[in-house]
Structure 1
Amino acid sequence: MPSRSEYALMSSIDRNMVLFICFSSAIAFFDFLIYLYIADTVALAFFPANIDPNVNNLQGFGLFAVGYLARPLGGIIFSGYGDTKGRKPVLLISILVTASSLLAMALLPTYAQWGLLAPALFILLRLIQGMAFGVYVPLAWVFVAEHVPRQYLSAGCSYVTASLFVGVLFSNAFFVWLNANMTAEQLVDYGWRLPFFVAAILSFLPLLAWRFIHESPFFVEMVTSKSSSDGAKPFSLLFKYCKHSIFIAMLLTFIVSSITIVVVLLLPDLIALRFTPDSDLFELSHSLGIVFMIFGCVFYGLISNYQNFGKILVIGSVLLIGQIFAFYYHLDAGGDYILIMYALLGFCAGIVGMVPAILVQLFPTNVRLTGLAFSYNITYAIVGGLVPFALGYITMFVSFTPALYIAFVGLIGIIMGLYFYNLPEFKQIDELI
């Protein structure tokens, strides 16, 4: 099969499929991040107006956390189906569920109209959306990895990862526009619905090209050869044969999730706790950092492969540690060159782009989606649930806390890089158990 050959060229069908997944991934990340930008506004629409503002804010962020906590549940429920029935059906389910839940949120009555039923329904829809997103990201990596020739595996997965951060940029731009064109009263009254409408429409768009998307060649061959282990369920096989792979995958996901959550989502707020940078310049710097992180993802994806992964991860982790400390020392000195320093930090953080190609190779074909979705979502839920609160609290006392945490993450990256560097051989991506 051409797409399985290590030295095959990528076909036009493969390229179109990668573009499809990248476009869908950017939309998916925009969909999931919507609530982060309008948590306070939505909380005002779905909770009593006379409630304490601090409690209102906590409820708002609680609704955002619901989406995070639902990700492991969705990953567990849908991933087994993807390993037994096919990647393509699960991809369709994920897209349809996400788009439908967003449309339902946009049309949902507020607390003033339906009382307590309104927030209850909103929470339910957030749970459903979070579950769909929980399987989407691992599935996107698996779908690309099982289509492209192995020499393009790292690059293909890095394109998908980079597209997630394109979704972050689009989110930033969209909500800057929204806040500039609507008053706070208009946002609470009806404006909060617009992002959900836009996200729902965008989520349905990939389905226009659905007929050009084919099932994974790996899954097709597995089904044709009937070489899966006696029809055993993926979770049974996973925990019987792949416990070590789960542990390694969770460590690698810890690196990806920590860098993404801190550098992409939390850093502006954490810096604002102890420093007073120019707000307009800092917003531009943050966006520039994300742009360079996109470039960094692609760069690391292009230069890494399953043979040199350990070496590149060690070098990239060392550079990230050096740059995060340089970034914070520069802030402490006044931050005159914040644009350059943020761009360099974003590029160094692009090491996350090389990790998914190894994640998908940790698990055999017949448990690949299950193993990756389980490891990725459990770790992401833990990091996403604990790190923001812990870093926010400790940063109020120690301004360099985010730098110390990223340095710790970089140290884990160095250890993992040394582990892979000394690994005698890597398993075949088409392996079965």
Structure 2
Amino acid sequence: MKEITLDASTAEEVKDHRGPATPDRTLTRAVTGVTLGNMVEWFDFAIYSSMSTLLAKVFFPTSNSYNELIAIYAAFAAGFLIRPLGGLLFGPIGDKYGRRTALVASISLMATATLAIALIPSYHSIGLAAPILLVVMRMLQGLSTGGEYGGSCIFIAEHSPDKRRTFFTSWLEFGNIAGFLVGGVIVNLISSLLGAETMLAWGWRVPFVIAGLMGIVALFIRLRVDETPVFRQMQANKSHQPARPPFWKLVASEWPQLLRSAGLVATFNINYYIVLGYLPSYLVSFLGRSEQFSATLSMTATLALLLFIPLFGMLGDRIGRKRMLVTGCLMMLFCVLPIFWAIQTQGLAAIILGMAVLILAMLFFEGTIPATLTSMFGATVRYSCFAISYNVSVSALGGTAPLINTWLIKETGLTIIPALYLMGGALLGLLALWGLRDRTGQPMPS
């Protein structure tokens, strides 16, 4: 890869990560390019959530609907299990060759795999090869995502001014939620236009085509965005620095922050995948609510989350990111058991109120977690450390949450399992926050 060099004026602007190195137009383009790419991931997640029963019949048809659901959740989880490998692949690329280089590679792989899913024949056409191909494409998507989210957070954070870093990085979460929301809307719209029979025959492919095309658009935007000022400064200083220890020794030296990051990521993703990804199907499968009610509740909650994320990003810049995260953890820890008791025993109003409280608790994470995680690591290993800690944690405790919770409820008969899962995540988050330095409004580590 060709090294990037700076002229004297540009180097002066970025030397302490605080100068006006990123013009407003460049910052806007950076936010737009990486946000749209992340939308593809969450658009895809919305597709799986909205069409899980349908996709199970296409790829894993059995006489038992529970086994079908477990199979499609397992295929979904396969994409998460390979994420750490994606972090190991794209992290060093981002630290050595550039943040933009890694992000261009990751979105290219994501768009290709997503479009390929739309072309896979059904189980009835090619038998066992169909679910195998689905799992392979899900694993390629997971490999791509291993470098996508962390790289996107870093790309925006390194373009952002210190005093507004939380706000600008919160737009990444805005894009993620928007992708989830738009995905659900498009699936419902296509389903209503085509009908159940056509959706089962071929209509399920259309959302995957749309997601793949979104990825191609994001690719072209990213190709037009400049590399971050921080990475350009790293390249400019490279020839003047003394010999450094091997790269992996530098990563290993960050182990306390790696553990903290993994803990926060686990809390963040457990909240997301349980509240938005699993709770709607939980209401249908275990509490007997209608699919229409569940879908409407999920859509409303997602829209509320979407509207308030930038506001909570601004709030994080004002009162401190650590204080926001502690508040979110405490809300989950002390409110979730009463909420689940109420939604199981007190009817419709309790479900709506309980979901509102859970969404409020999530907002303290959604608005602040990207800036928090990017400010935990030094610039030379930031991409790798973020990608490794994030993806290991998501693979173990985030994306597998629907599968684990469904299995635990089936084995134990305890429908309170999701509440206990959320409480465990909150405790883990509080432990990770213990001793964490709050860098709100300050430069990221060099």
1:77-122 deviation line (CA, Å, top 9, x unaligned): 1111111011111111111111112222222344454444444333
Match of 1:373 among 356, 374, 387: 387
Matched, 1:413 2:429: yes
Q: Secondary structure at the match of 1:169?
A: helix
Shift of 1:253: 0.8
Structure 2 counterpart of 1:297: 309
Shift of 1:133: 1.4
Matched, 1:429 2:441: no
1:52 to 1:336, Cα distance in 2 relative to 1, 3 A: closer
Shift of 1:307: 8.1
Structure 2 counterpart of 1:355: 369
1:190-224 deviation line (CA, Å, top 9, x unaligned): 22221211111111112343453011111111011
Contact 1:270 1:402 in 2 (8 A): no
Instruction: State the AA in 2 paired with 1:178.
Output: I
Shift of 1:333: 1.9
Percent identity of equivalent pairs: 22
Shift of 1:386: 4.8
Shift of 1:25: 1.9
Q: Greater shift after overlay, 370-379 or 280-289?
A: 280-289
Structure 1 counterpart of 2:258: 246
Contact 2:151 2:383 in 1 (8 A): yes
1:274 to 1:187, Cα distance in 2 relative to 1, 3 A: closer
Q: RMSD over aligned Cα, in angstroms?
A: 3.1
Contact 1:306 1:358 in 2 (8 A): no
How do 1:187-266 residues align onto structure 2 when only pairs under 5 Å count? 187-226=199-238, 230=243, 234-239=247-252, 241-266=253-278
- For structure 2, the residue ranges without an aligned partner over 5 or more in a row are 1-11
Shift of 1:147: 0.7
1:380-424 deviation line (CA, Å, top 9, x unaligned): 000136533443345463343323332333333344445337x79
Structure 2 counterpart of 1:342: 355
1:275-306 deviation line (CA, Å, top 9, x unaligned): 34465444322222222223443233212249
1:367 to 1:185, Cα distance in 2 relative to 1, 3 A: same
Contact 1:27 1:203 in 2 (8 A): yes
Q: Greater shift after overlay, 268-277 or 162-171?
A: 268-277
Contact 1:324 1:345 in 2 (8 A): yes
What is the CA–CA distance in structure 1 between the aligned matches of 2:363 and 2:385, rounded to whole Å? 24
What is the CA–CA distance in structure 1 between the aligned matches of 2:113 and 2:334, rounded to whole Å? 42
Matched, 1:82 2:97: no
Matched, 1:156 2:168: yes
Q: Greater shift after overlay, 283-292 or 398-407?
A: 398-407
What is the CA–CA distance in structure 1 between the aligned matches of 2:290 and 2:64, rounded to whole Å? 31
Matched, 1:179 2:197: no
How do 1:38-117 residues align onto structure 2 when only pairs under 5 Å count? 38-46=51-59, 55-117=67-129
Q: Greater shift after overlay, 314-323 or 253-262?
A: 314-323
How many residue pairs get aligned? The number is 428
What is the CA–CA distance in structure 1 between the aligned matches of 2:44 and 2:242, rounded to whole Å? 37
Q: Greater shift after overlay, 54-63 or 167-176?
A: 54-63
Contact 1:80 1:233 in 2 (8 A): no
What is the CA–CA distance in structure 2 between the aligned matches of 1:425 and 1:172, rounded to whole Å? 34
Q: Secondary structure at the match of 1:214?
A: coil
Contact 1:314 1:418 in 2 (8 A): no
Shift of 1:229: 6.9
1:345 to 1:334, Cα distance in 2 relative to 1, 3 A: same
Structure 2 counterpart of 1:392: 406
1:102-161 deviation line (CA, Å, top 9, x unaligned): 222222344454444444333322211111112101111010011111112111221111
What is the CA–CA distance in structure 1 between the aligned matches of 2:144 and 2:188, rounded to whole Å? 27
Matched, 1:21 2:39: no
What is the CA–CA distance in structure 2 between the aligned matches of 1:54 and 1:392, rounded to whole Å? 10
What is the CA–CA distance in structure 1 between the aligned matches of 2:293 and 2:315, rounded to whole Å? 32
Shift of 1:55: 4.7
- For structure 1, the residue ranges without an aligned partner over 5 or more in a row are none
TM-score of the aligned structures, taking structure 1 as reference length = 0.87
What is the CA–CA distance in structure 2 between the aligned matches of 1:388 and 1:338, rounded to whole Å? 19
Q: Greater shift after overlay, 379-388 or 325-334?
A: 325-334
Q: Secondary structure at the match of 1:81?
A: helix
Contact 2:261 2:386 in 1 (8 A): yes
Contact 2:117 2:134 in 1 (8 A): yes
Contact 2:273 2:398 in 1 (8 A): yes
TM-score of the aligned structures, taking structure 2 as reference length = 0.85
Contact 1:296 1:348 in 2 (8 A): no
1:189 to 1:230, Cα distance in 2 relative to 1, 3 A: farther
Q: Secondary structure at the match of 2:139?
A: helix
Instruction: State the AA in 1 paired with 2:444.
Output: I
What is the CA–CA distance in structure 2 between the aligned matches of 1:413 and 1:15, rounded to whole Å? 31
Structure 1 counterpart of 2:7: none
1:21-51 deviation line (CA, Å, top 9, x unaligned): 222222231134433433444444445x677
1:163 to 1:229, Cα distance in 2 relative to 1, 3 A: farther
Instruction: State the AA in 1 paired with 2:215.
Output: S
Instruction: State the AA in 2 paired with 1:92.
Output: V
1:400 to 1:210, Cα distance in 2 relative to 1, 3 A: closer
